[in-house]
Amino acid sequence: MGSPSFFSPYRHGFVRVATAVPKVKLADPAANAQAILALAREAHAAGVAVVVFPELGLTGYTIDDLLQQEALLDAVEAAIATLTEASAGLAPMIVVGGPLRDGGRLYNTAIVIQGGKVLGVVPKSFLPNYREFYERRWFTPGAGVTGKTLTLAGQVVPFGTDILFRGEGVAPFTVGVEICEDVWTPTPPSTAQALAGAEILLNLSASNITIGKSETRRLLCASQSSRMIAAYVYSAAGAGESSTDLAWDGHVDIHEMGALLAETPRFSTGPAWTFADVDVQRIRQERMRVGSFGDAMALTPPSTPFQIVPFAFDAPEGDLALARPIERFPFTPSDPAKLRENCYEAYNIQVQGLARRLEASGLKALVIGISGGLDSTQALLVAAKAMDQLGLPRTNILAYTLPGFATSDRTKSNAWALMRAMGVTAAELDIRPAATQMLKDLDHPFGRGEAVYDVTFENVQAGLRTDYLFRLANHNAALVVGTGDLSELALGWCTYGVGDHMSHYNPNCGAAKTLIQHLIRFVAHSGDVDAETTALLEDILATEISPELVPGEAVQATESFVGPYALQDFNLYYMTRYGMAPSKIAFLAWSAWHDADQGGWPVGLPDNARRAYDLPEIKRWLELFLKRFFANQFKRSAVPNGPKISSGGALSPRGDWRMPSDVTAEAWLAELHANVAI
């Protein structure tokens, strides 16, 4: 087969996995095999690589002593032969549950089938025999069963708990299998499987339902996927199981590194299934980054080495829509409850950081420049709250608006209104006379009356503002509060040294521009400010982002220079947090942004911000991001202190990000141009 297209998840290290619950027919393996095949064919049509079915799905879990009937066990083996033969025309690896005999013992097993072959059989290690469970009456525990074989469907196949299954092809992956109770134990077999290299962990389960049990199962699956830095794919028994003494909800879900990717509604009366694209490449990257995972691998080698069973998986050709949620704004989730919790934590991280720094300094006052824009607004909100927390008057915040040659009436008015609303000591310091004198001293054309607005003209203003703030801090025994954010630092959109690059402490340094907007919105609607201040904050949010350094009729729009912050924050997150290749970032950005009508948007985002980006736009702005990111490391190597806020990372050389200042972006740009052809 050919290679998947750029618009296929398989091209970018994703593997499509599915979990399915057929409607079981008790003690009828032949009928159950057909029900399994029907869903397996649907999975094949959807481009799935791996599909897992429930525990004892070939017979039903609730048949009790019938599990030891010869007629039934013979029928199970015949059903496995049927599935094996039919699998020759199907791409996915099919994992089904059934009772199998070996040497006078009966095991509860997972049978792995693909491409006309039984790849192997994994027995259940731990058998529950408490409360409603009675498995030791029928089965032998699989723990310790290694290096054995079984004959199934006319084939001699590996049998034991020491087997991993490796799919080979354009998107290679390794699968480990465990059964129900195994994950409820202190030492799940999937732990050893993950440490041996399995990125995708499957659980065939029966698991009856009682009140609250579904949440416990989700926690187990999420926790195991998080601790093992893996995907965890779970399928539980559902429709058709006996209701003599128990009930069954058909709980299926897919987790990756703690995050829920997909699940189906429970208590279906018929078959149900779902699938998601697991980012195997991201799992490998994260394992490489988390050194303690590698340490655990070295310290806890399996008592018996795993045997790897390879199989060929040919990913489907052509386009394939990504089947997993991708947030447009990775720093600001679209789920309202999560966004509210994130903003609460981010805001209080900023407040706690600034309060602690002021307390440690022994000083009692803060100096801050207020522009009427987003960043200084958020920094002032944080400063006011920090003063409240320390029991100091807000008048100890010395806030200045420092108008320059292009300061608009709107932003200046908003700056004054904000300072008054916060109850701080407010003042205005016009930098234009000093800037004009400096430009004259530099023999700059503007100093001679010429309308030349170059980088020197801009940075004289930016530098003077910060210079004044530092001298005001000296004069008033205060600390200068920084206002620049994470996005500006990533793009180098800050004046180095004595400019907005520098401060005594910067509470915004770990907050991306897209997060800053929601933090302001969070405070505006928190109930901590009055209606007039809420309206003011909303007006600040609606103001176009601009440095306001160049005079003229048109607004000097920042995003026309550095790109849309929505896309650049997306690029920043996936490059620095996960080390993804530019082409993969472009694919993810296209998946998230190409259709404005698909997917969720964060609460409060204005309608005019809910737009789409096509692949040429995404590529153009990603190229600019790479160039600016690599060219401006020298600024990040000399940033002031400030707190890390998001799991997406920070750019301090003392924290998340270390990089030489003179490295080139050529390898990243070459990868982008080679693999995103438009």
Q: Binding residue per annotation — 459?
A: yes
- Candidates 314, 648, 311; CA nearest to 513 is 648
Determine the Cα–Cα distance for residues 431 and 400; give it in Å rounded to an integer: 11
480: β partners: 367
**Tens digit of each residue's pLDDT (9 = 90 or more) over 606-655:** 898 999 999 999 999 999 999 999 999 999 999 999 999 998 889 999 98
Q: Which residue has the tokens 């059934």?
A: 98
Computed over every residue of the chain, the mean pLDDT equals 94
Residue 178 assigned to a binding site: no
Residue 635 annotated as lining a ligand binding site: yes
Residue 538 annotated in active site = no
Confidence (pLDDT) at 648: 85
Annotated catalytic residue within 124, 385, 412, 619? 124
Edge-first strand order for the sheet with 252-256 is 259-263, 252-256, 231-235, 200-204, 173-179, 163-168, 307-312
Tell me which residues of the chain have a pLDDT lower than 70.
Answer: 1-2, 553-555
**Alpha-carbon distance 349 to 341, whole Å?**
12
Q: Which residue has the tokens 């503002």?
A: 465
What are 482-514's pLDDT values in tens digits? 999 999 999 999 999 988 999 999 999 999 999
* SS3 state of residue 88: coil
Element (H, E) at 231: strand 231-235
Query: Residue 212 has what pLDDT?
Result: 87
pTM above 0.85, yes or no: yes
CA distance 571 to 561: 16
> Any binding-site annotation on 652?
no
150 is in an annotated binding site: no
Q: Is 613 annotated as a binding residue?
A: no
Question: Between the CA of residue 529 and those of 426, 522, 535, 538, what are the distances in Å?
Answer: 18, 11, 10, 12
Closest CA to 150 of 203, 109, 193, 190: 109
Residue 558 phi/psi, 5° resolution?
Answer: -55, -45
Contact 482, 509 (CB under 8 A): yes
Buried b (16+ CB within 10 A) or exposed e, 13-39: bbbbbbbbbbbbeebbbebbbbbbbeb
370 has binding-site annotation: yes
Which residue among the candidates 180, 221, 343, 509 is catalytic per the annotation? 180
- For the chain, domains (ranges, CATH) are 16-312 (3.60.110.10), 336-675 (3.40.50.620)
Contact 401, 415 (CB under 8 A): yes
Does 584 qualify as catalytic in the annotation? Answer: no
The pLDDT score that the predictor gives to residue 129 is 87
Residue 543 is labelled as binding a ligand: no
124 is catalytic: yes
207 in a labelled binding site: yes
